[in-house]
């Protein structure tokens, strides 16, 4: 199965692997296993150590590796209500499209992993934190959609497993990162809404492409205090060319002196814009003078 290959690629904690299971001893987890994620409560026993989902379900054990879900039948969209703060070593979304709401999911492993299989989306509407300054490894080829403003002081490794296509989607939120380290071809999706990605340190591995989609000028903002190997106010470099905004060519990507990562006009374009503005101003003056004559 795919989960085995991903676990082999991604370092996990030495804790218990628990599988989300919405139907107790019935095989699988159920097509849409909506329930509450909690360490207590009889009705909240929605986890199993049995990959097939045939064992009696239990409450969540803090610090476990969480897999969504048992077997492979949870193919629908469903809601996981997070009760309070749930500590987790890693999360793997193997099937379906879960949405986390309420509460806080805290990654407390030394090298926490958030892996979303290709073709699946995790909608992260609850709070996301990491109590380890080592940050978070995001990979798998699927999509993580953040619907809550998030701050991670450590490093977010995007595409750490080497699986291309991982997407980080921002839904009208602010995401503050200590370091964004792009290690495999990935996408940042501004989801057509006003969002901000503020990074202290940005690094992109050689040969890797970062695609930025749904970015709107003066609406969405992608900023970096430091961008390794890049000089401000230059375009067409070997590193800036690795970042491509949809609707613009990669050789127009630049890093402004104000720290914004965005498409920038060629120097000749600035001259044309200035020339056009000057021509418009002169035309306006002539029109005003003719009105006074």
Please calculate the CA angle 125-131-133 and round it to the nearest 5 degrees: 115
- The pLDDT, as a whole number, for residue 266 is 55
- The answer to whether 153 and 131 have CB atoms below 8 angstroms apart is no
With cut-offs at 50, 70 and 90, classify the pLDDT of residue 11: very low
Average pLDDT over residues 16-23: 97
Task: Return the DSSP state at 161.
Answer: T
Are residues 13 and 63 in contact, defined by beta-carbon separation less than 8 angstroms?
A: yes
Q: Which two tokens stand for residue 92?
A: 């793997």
Strand (E) or helix (H) holding 4: helix 2-9
What is d(CA 18, CA 70) in angstroms, rounded to the nearest whole number?
9
> Higher pLDDT residue, 278 or 88?
88
| DSSP letters for 184-214 | SSEEEE-TTS--EEEEEEEEE-TT--EEEES
Q: Are 102 and 56 in contact (CB under 8 A)?
A: no
Average pLDDT of the chain, as a whole number: 88
Q: How confident is the model at residue 77 (pLDDT cuts 50, 70, 90)?
A: very high
Q: Which residues pair with 99 in a beta bridge?
A: 79, 123
Q: Which pLDDT does position 159 carry in this prediction?
A: 93
Strands 174-182 and 196-204: parallel
pLDDT for the residue 52: 98
How many CB atoms are closer than 10 A to CB 146? 21
Give the pLDDT band (50/70/90) at residue 15: low
Nearest to 192 by CA among 159, 218, 226, 220: 220
Q: DSSP code of 269?
A: H
213-251 pLDDT tens trace: 999 999 999 999 999 999 999 898 999 999 999 999 999
Provide the pLDDT confidence category of residue 211 given band limits of 50, 70 and 90. very high
Helix (H) or strand (E) holding 273: helix 267-292
Tell me the pLDDT tens digit for each residue of 90-103.
Answer: 999 999 999 999 99
What's the CA gap between 202 and 104, in Å, rounded? 26
d(CA 284, CA 269): 22
Query: At residue 23, what are phi and psi to the nearest 5 degrees?
Result: -130, 30
- CA nearest neighbour of 179 among 206, 211, 207, 151: 151
pLDDT digits (tens, 9 = 90+) for 117-132: 999 999 999 999 998 7
Residue-range domain boundaries for the chain: 2-267
Percent over 70 (pLDDT), the chain? 85
Look at residue 110 and give its three-state secondary structure: coil
> Encoding tokens for residue 231?
């000089």
Query: Please, are residues 53 and 42 in contact by the beta-carbon 8 Å criterion?
Result: no
pLDDT in tens, 21-72: 999 999 999 999 999 999 999 999 999 999 999 999 999 999 999 999 999 9
Confidence at residue 132, expressed as pLDDT on a 0 to 100 scale: 77
């Amino acid at each position: 199965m795919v989960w085995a290959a991903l676990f082999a690629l991604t370092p996990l904690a030495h804790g218990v692997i628990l599988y989300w299971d919405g139907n107790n001893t019935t095989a699988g987890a159920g097509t849409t296993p909506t329930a509450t994620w909690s360490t207590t409560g009889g009705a909240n026993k929605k986890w199993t150590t049995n990959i097939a989902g045939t064992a009696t379900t239990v409450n969540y054990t803090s610090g476990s590796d969480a897999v969504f879900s048992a077997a492979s039948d949870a193919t629908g969209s469903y809601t996981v209500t997070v009760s309070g703060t749930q500590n987790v070593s890693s999360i793997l979304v193997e099937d379906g499209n879960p949405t986390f709401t309420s509460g806080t999911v805290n990654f407390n492993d030394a090298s926490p992993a958030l892996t979303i299989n290709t073709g699946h989306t995790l909608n992260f509407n609850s709070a996301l934190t990491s109590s380890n300054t080592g940050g978070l490894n995001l990979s798998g080829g699927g999509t993580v959609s953040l619907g809550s403003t998030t701050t991670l002081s450590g490093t977010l490794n995007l595409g750490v497993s080497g699986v291309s296509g991982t997407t980080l989607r921002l839904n009208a939120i602010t995401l503050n990162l200590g370091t964004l380290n792009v290690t495999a071809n990935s996408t940042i999706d501004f989801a057509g809404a006003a969002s901000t990605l503020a990074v202290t340190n940005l690094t992109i591995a050689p040969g890797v492409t970062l695609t930025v989609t749904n970015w709107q000028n003066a609406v969405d903002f992608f900023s970096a205090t430091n961008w390794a190997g890049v000089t401000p106010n230059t375009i067409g470099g070997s590193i800036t060319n690795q970042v491509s905004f949809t609707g613009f060519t990669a050789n127009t990507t630049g890093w402004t002196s104000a720290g914004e990562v965005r498409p920038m006009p060629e120097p000749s374009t600035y001259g044309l814009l200035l020339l056009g503005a000057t021509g418009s101003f002169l035309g306006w003056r002539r029109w005003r003078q003719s009105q006074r004559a």
